[in-house]
Amino acid sequence: MSVLVIAEHNNQHLNPATLHAVQAAVQLGEVHLLVAGNGVAAVADEAKQIAGVVRVCVAEAPHYAEGLAEELTPLVVKLAADYRYVAATATAFGKNLMPRVAAVLDIPQISDLTEIVDKQTFVRPIYAGNAFEMVQTPSEKLVLTFRATAFEAAAVAGGNAEVVNVDALEAQNISHFVKRELTQSDRPDLTQANVVVTGGRALASAENFKQILTPLADVLGAAIGASRSAVEAEYAPNDLQVGQTGKVVAPQLYIAIGVSGAIQHVAGIQDSKVIVAINKDTDAPIFNVADYGIVGDLFEIVPKLTKALRN
Amino acid sequence: MKALVAVKRVVDYNVKVRVKADSSDVDIGNVKMSMNPFDEIAVEEAVRLKEAGKISEIVAVSIGEKKCEDTLRTALAMGADRAIHIETDTKLEPLAVAKLLKAVADKENPQILLLGKQAIDDDANQTAQMLAALLNAPQATFASKVELGNDKVVVTREIDGGEEVVVLTLPAVISADLRLNEPRFVKLPNIMAAKKKPLEKVALADLNVDTATRVNVMKVLEPKARQAGVKVANVAELVEKLKNEAKVI
């Protein structure tokens, strides 16, 4: 037995982020997937078809429904006895849960890793991606979180895992879920999109942010992102923030519009295949990482670009 | 009600660090150091809770070299009541830090423990969760709103795709996200007053905690550099390049 990957889901569908952890974990050994939730038959069905998954462990209880770390930790800790690695994708869910598991197990966690060198050696970014550290551990057991953009997604078909039920543990009842409000969007998920269009402070208002970026994103089938300053000025909701403290993206095409390119922002985009910058400031640091840059007024350039792409 | 706030001294967030030529580490020999920005937010939140009459005492803790004293003095100047410095020159892993903080918490019995969601040097995002685990306390990570009651705390958390609200039974651990608040500027009289506030030194050895290194850094590498790009003159040229050269549209 080798790797227990914790699946992320909303009790109906598996979150595609989990597929990246599966693909990474296959490099370390036999992959078992834990689906803990409430009424998760459909999720288990998706999970067993993922290429590379050998077993799906299903644990059902009302107190597992919302993915609370306090409730999931005892379950994961109990199952962990049979595994060398416990792993998840470094999403908000994975970041919240896994260190709690590691501490109870009294084993180290290696966060947000981008490369598996061998079974005890890993590479991960530090200082907002301005450096990478190669770490090695003699620890026989490890907790790992994988950076999604550094690993391909496992195929959603072709697998034929066995599904086993595992007993739920008693509720901890020290924390309770109240509500969740998700930003409604028809656009592709920011972290999974092939094209990302991001707006910065220079958009100057929430109306401009929407009016300028939406048509361009529509024509490209792109997700929309925002810099921290655009989020702080309330031009865009916080979950669109791209950068060290927001989402890390690695699309085929990243278009930064009115984004200066602070270190913390660049940390979240530097693995994009092609970066385009549109900025009126010739010296903006974003031009140091952009493959193609246009110096000029975004309010003229972006509508022109939208029109050119539409034709 | 008592609050414990953990603060870390890190390279200032505006500094672009360089990797040493021998790949042993990043070079932070002469760079500006500051309080980790997320920890500043945690301190600010504690001070606001005190100003609102919800908590009576704020204890700031830092673990590290002698100069962490400066970081603690900043926390005191922001409004913390007293400080504890666990002095060590060894770089500690998040689990070791969490164990040390647990030892402090066991002694101080805070009802609310505030930390930053991550330090901007190691980017680990682990310590708060680990501390909560060791205390068997509930956790609310990535907090953007905190409403403290007598025996419960309601916390709004930043999650992928939006936000969620959880209620925790006290004592509880909360890690601060950027949106939680805007930390205040520290005024000179407060800096002067902070010099008179108590700052207790605790020897690492006295806490009887296993802080042995379990993950060794083999080397520190430069990020893969992106190739220098080109500036194009107009939209037509950009579209042409994206289509025919980069082939991404």
> What CATH number has the domain bearing residue B241?
3.40.50.620
Verify whether the Cβ–Cβ distance A100 to B137 is below 8 Å: no
Sequence-separated contacts (24+) of B24-30 with Cβ below 8 Å? B24/B219, B24/B220, B25/B217, B25/B220, B26/A126, B26/A127, B26/A130, B26/A131, B26/B220
Beta strands in A127-273 (DSSP E): 131-136, 142-146, 162-165, 175-182, 195-199, 223-226, 253-257
8 A C-beta contact, residue A255 and residue A272 = no
A146 is written with which tokens? 């994988």
Q: pTM of the full predicted structure?
A: 0.94
Cα A87–chain centre separation? 14
Q: Which residues of B touch A193 (CB under 8 A)?
A: none
Range A56-83 burial, b when 16+ CB lie within 10 A, else e: bbbbbbebbbbbbbbbbbbbbbebbeeb
Residue A279, pLDDT above cutoff 90: yes
> ipTM score here?
0.96
Q: Check residue B111 and report its DSSP letter.
A: S
The CA distance from A217 to B165, in Å, is: 31
Range B166-200 burial, b when 16+ CB lie within 10 A, else e: bbbbbbbbbbbbbbbbebeebeeeeeeebeebebe
pLDDT score, position A253: 97
Verify whether the Cβ–Cβ distance A99 to B129 is below 8 Å: yes
CA distance, residue B4 to nearest chain A CA (Å): 19
CA distance, residue A151 to nearest chain B CA (Å): 16
Picking from A132, A179, A182, the nearest residue to B165 by CB comes out as A179
The CA distance from A89 to A144, in Å, is: 8
Sequence-separated contacts (24+) of B183-190 with Cβ below 8 Å? B183/B40, B183/B41, B183/B43, B183/B44, B183/B78, B184/B44, B184/B47, B184/B78, B186/B74, B186/B77, B186/B78, B190/B77, B190/B78, B190/B79
Average pLDDT, chain A: 96
Verify whether the Cβ–Cβ distance A103 to B129 is below 8 Å: yes
8 A C-beta contact, residue A240 and residue A226 = yes
Amino acid identity for residue B168 in this structure: L
Verify whether the Cβ–Cβ distance A244 to B123 is below 8 Å: yes
Q: Which residue of A has its CA nearest to B175?
A: A96
Q: Which residues of B touch A304 (CB under 8 A)?
A: 235
Tell me whether residue A259 is annotated as binding.
Answer: yes
Asked if the domains at A2-165 and A195-309 fall in one CATH topology, the answer is yes
A186 is written with which tokens? 């028809």
CA distance, residue A303 to nearest chain B CA (Å): 10
Tell me whether residue A158 is annotated as binding.
Answer: no
Q: Please list, in sequence order, all residues whose beta carbon lies within 8 angstroms of the beta carbon of residue A252, skipping any fewer than 6 positions away.
A: A194, A195, A272, A273, A274, B248
Verify whether the Cβ–Cβ distance A180 to B163 is below 8 Å: yes
The 10 Å Cβ neighbour count of residue A41 is 13
Q: Which residues of A touch B8 (CB under 8 A)?
A: none
Q: Check residue A283 and report its DSSP letter.
A: T
Tell me whether residue A201 is annotated as binding.
Answer: yes
Q: Which residue of A has its CA nearest to B177?
A: A245
Residue A1, pLDDT above cutoff 80: no
Which residue ranges make up each domain of chain A? 2-165, 195-309
Tell me whether residue A260 is annotated as binding.
Answer: yes
Verify whether the Cβ–Cβ distance B219 to A263 is below 8 Å: no
Verify whether the Cβ–Cβ distance A181 to B162 is below 8 Å: yes
Q: Which residue of A has its CA nearest to B118?
A: A245
CATH class for the domain made up of A2-165:
alpha beta
Q: Which residue of A has its CA nearest to B97?
A: A103
Verify whether the Cβ–Cβ distance A291 to B246 is below 8 Å: yes
Domain range for B219: 2-245
Selection from A257, A237, A253 nearest residue A181 by Cα: A237
Q: Which residues of B touch A133 (CB under 8 A)?
A: 217, 219-221
Amino acid identity for residue B34 in this structure: S
Verify whether the Cβ–Cβ distance A292 to B241 is below 8 Å: yes
Tell me whether residue A263 is annotated as binding.
Answer: yes
Q: Which of A184, A227, A292 to mutate to test the interface with B (most CBs of B within 10 A)?
A: A292
pLDDT digits (tens), chain B, 249 positions: 999 999 999 999 989 899 999 999 999 989 999 999 999 999 999 999 999 999 999 999 999 999 999 999 999 999 999 999 999 999 999 999 999 999 999 999 999 999 999 999 999 999 999 999 999 999 999 999 999 999 999 999 999 989 999 999 999 999 999 999 999 999 999 999 999 999 999 999 999 999 999 999 999 999 887 877 999 999 999 999 999 999 988
Number of CB pairs, chain A paired with chain B, less than 8 A apart: 252
The CA distance from A289 to A270, in Å, is: 8
Q: Which residue of B has its CA nearest to A221?
A: B249
Tell me whether residue A258 is annotated as binding.
Answer: yes
Q: How many residues does chain B have?
A: 249
CA distance, residue A73 to nearest chain B CA (Å): 9
Q: Which residues of A touch B165 (CB under 8 A)?
A: 177-180
Tell me whether residue A241 is annotated as binding.
Answer: yes
Q: Please list, in sequence order, all residues whose beta carbon lies within 8 angstroms of the beta carbon of residue A281, skipping any fewer than 6 positions away.
A: A260, A295
Q: Please list, in sequence order, all residues whose beta carbon lies within 8 angstroms of the beta carbon of residue A207, skipping any fewer than 6 positions away.
A: none
Tell me whether residue A262 is annotated as binding.
Answer: yes
Angle made by CA atoms A121, A124, A125, in degrees to the nearest 5: 155
CA distance, residue A282 to nearest chain B CA (Å): 10
CA distance, residue B208 to nearest chain A CA (Å): 16
Picking from B141, B218, B233, the nearest residue to A96 by CB comes out as B141
Picking from A129, A175, A301, the nearest residue to B235 by CB comes out as A301
Mean pLDDT along residues A221-244: 94
Angle made by CA atoms A28, A32, A38, in degrees to the nearest 5: 145
The CA distance from B117 to B176, in Å, is: 5
pLDDT score, position B241: 95
Q: Which of B159, B173, B175, B247 to mutate to test the interface with A (most CBs of A within 10 A)?
A: B159
B179 is written with which tokens? 């949106």
Q: For B67, list phi and psi in degrees, rounded to 5.
A: -70, -10
Convert the pLDDT of each residue in A147-171 to its tens digit.
999 999 999 999 999 999 999 999 9
Residue with tokens 């791209």: A242
Convert the pLDDT of each residue in A113-142 to its tens digit.
999 999 999 999 999 888 999 999 999 999
A212 is written with which tokens? 């300028």
Fold of A195-309: Rossmann fold (3.40.50)
Question: What's the total number of domains in chain B?
Answer: 1
